[in-house]
Amino acid sequence: MKTILLLLSLLPSLVFAQKADVTSNKEITRIAFGSCSVQDQPEKQLWSEVSSMNPDLWIWLGDNIYGDTEDMSDMKAKYDLQKSHPDYQKLMKQTNVIGIWDDHDYGVNDGGKEFPAKEGSKKQLFDFLDIDKNHPAQKRQGAYQSYTYKSNQGNVKIILLDTRYFRDSLQWNNPGTNEKEAIINPDGDILGEEQWTWFESQLSEPDINLFVVASGIQVIPFQHRWEKWANFPKSRKKLLDLIAQANAPLILLSGDRHLSEVSKMEVPGYDYPLYEFTSSSLTSPAGIESEENEYIVKDKIYEPNFAGLSIMWIRKYPTLNLTFKGKGSKELAKYRIQYQ
């Protein structure tokens, strides 16, 4: 009896493997992804270039529009403008589109859980992404989602993290100036208790050969002064610990920065190098600014761009070929990862 009672007392702390929100038997061999697209600059969009890659999947990594409003009719109009672009319409017809938000499409620059219109904003995001009314994410707080694509070659699971809806406050030095710098929140949280539990369970799903974890803000780089997971060091450590615990091939995708780069780090207890592919911006690259990233493995890209990722399989282990492309499908950089 004591043993049974002990097991029952442990149940609330146990995390059980959970299948993805959506599971498909469609093989995924080409993934395209990007972020930071100004909706009222149609001439700058790269949708024709994305379509020419013929991807199996497009992943929005946030700032899918520049909404910055609590007025949901205004937000909807901006999403409608983005969605009406003829080349984006073509892309939607030829491939699956999924995605997560960042701050500007959430509704407020650098915003977190304090944003009062976040429920309405979630509805606008899900309408833009054409997320089915029966999708499990519709019933949850927050916008996080997961998708598994199964094939005889290998199974790929996409996990989209919500770094806005539950995120604790972030303060800034010199706000409103060119010297703006985030202040570290040593005890603050990013994902919230329910999303953390969900994320751990998603990483526990068996027979996944490649995890792809998307976050609007960067995870690995920690030295720049802008938004990043390192502003919340307890959350960043918890994320990396869960990745080590899963101990499977996993890559991180991020946007936000209005520059693109590849970062790589070693995580204690994790048998693989951890890579992060940052792709930003689709329309509006930042000016060149000197900043450190001790984990960078490819020079920063400051041109408008998106990224394409091709997946090949050798005995269930993925080989990944990453290419950053710009206007006219110009190749800006490429990188290769082979797991074994």
pLDDT in the model for residue 1: 45
CB-based burial label for 305 (10 Å; 0-12, 13-18, 19+): buried
Taking the C-alpha atoms of residue 282 and residue 254, their distance in angstroms, rounded to an integer, is 13
pLDDT in the model for residue 10: 42
Mind listing the domains of the chain with CATH numbers? 26-338 (3.60.21.70)
Q: What is the pTM of this model?
A: 0.95
Helix, strand, coil content of the chain in percent (nearest 5): 25, 25, 50
Beta strand pairing call for 57-60 and 30-34 = parallel
Q: Residue 310 phi/psi, 5° resolution?
A: -105, 140
User: What DSSP assignment string belongs to 68-85?
Assistant: --S-HHHHHHHHHHHHT-
pLDDT in the model for residue 15: 56
CB 46 within 8 Å of CB 89: no
pLDDT in the model for residue 263: 98
Beta strand pairing call for 317-325 and 331-338 = antiparallel
Which two structure tokens, joined as six digits, stand for 233? 């060091």
CB 257 within 8 Å of CB 293: no
- Report which of 248, 144, 155 is spatially closest to residue 199, judged by C-alpha positions: 144
Q: What is the pLDDT along the chain (340 residues), one digit of tens a residue?
A: 444 444 334 444 455 789 999 999 999 999 999 999 999 999 999 999 999 999 999 999 999 999 999 999 999 999 999 999 999 999 999 999 999 999 999 999 999 999 999 999 999 999 999 999 999 999 999 999 999 999 999 999 999 999 999 999 999 999 989 899 999 999 999 999 999 999 999 999 999 999 999 999 999 999 999 999 999 999 999 999 999 999 999 999 999 999 999 999 999 999 999 999 999 999 999 888 889 999 999 889 999 999 999 999 999 999 999 999 999 999 999 999 999 8
Taking the C-alpha atoms of residue 203 and residue 220, their distance in angstroms, rounded to an integer, is 19
CB 269 within 8 Å of CB 226: no
pLDDT in the model for residue 267: 98
Taking the C-alpha atoms of residue 269 and residue 266, their distance in angstroms, rounded to an integer, is 9
pLDDT in the model for residue 298: 85
